[in-house]
Amino acid sequence: MGLAEALETTRIHSVAGLTGGRSAVVTTRPFRAPHHTISNVGLIGGGQVPMPGEGSLAHHGILFLDDLPEFRRHVLEILRQPLEESVVTITSLGLEIMFPVDPTS
């Protein structure tokens, strides 16, 4: 990854609490393989405290949906627009938070 991609990926993982307290930059492309029973929130993000979902956590890496026919249709449909626009917008309690979603870059 280039420096800009690494910094962007690190920011996303930091917000999600996945840096383990390290201050080091994430230098390898993420590989995310969620289980087919994942929820909408788990896949695209959200929650009472909005957090990035698997789509954003795979930003600049790979989002691997193994056993694709096993995923619920509505879960896959909710991922379609963020993948087309390369961003997911989460609105909660009057706040609008945007997380990047571009696992193909």
- Tell me the pLDDT tens digit for each residue of 20-43: 766 688 888 999 999 999 998 899
Predicted TM-score (pTM) of this structure: 0.85
Question: Can you tell me the distance from the alpha carbon of 59 to that of 12, in angstroms, rounded to the nearest whole number?
Answer: 8
Question: Can you tell me the distance from the alpha carbon of 93 to that of 2, in angstroms, rounded to the nearest whole number?
Answer: 35
Question: pLDDT of the chain along its 105 residues, tens only?
Answer: 899 999 999 999 988 888 776 668 888 899 999 999 999 889 988 888 888 999 999 999 999 999 888 999 988 898 888 888 889 888 877 788 888 888 765
Query: At CA 26, angle to CA 24 and CA 28, rounded to 5?
Result: 140
The pLDDT of residue 31: 94
The pLDDT of residue 64: 93
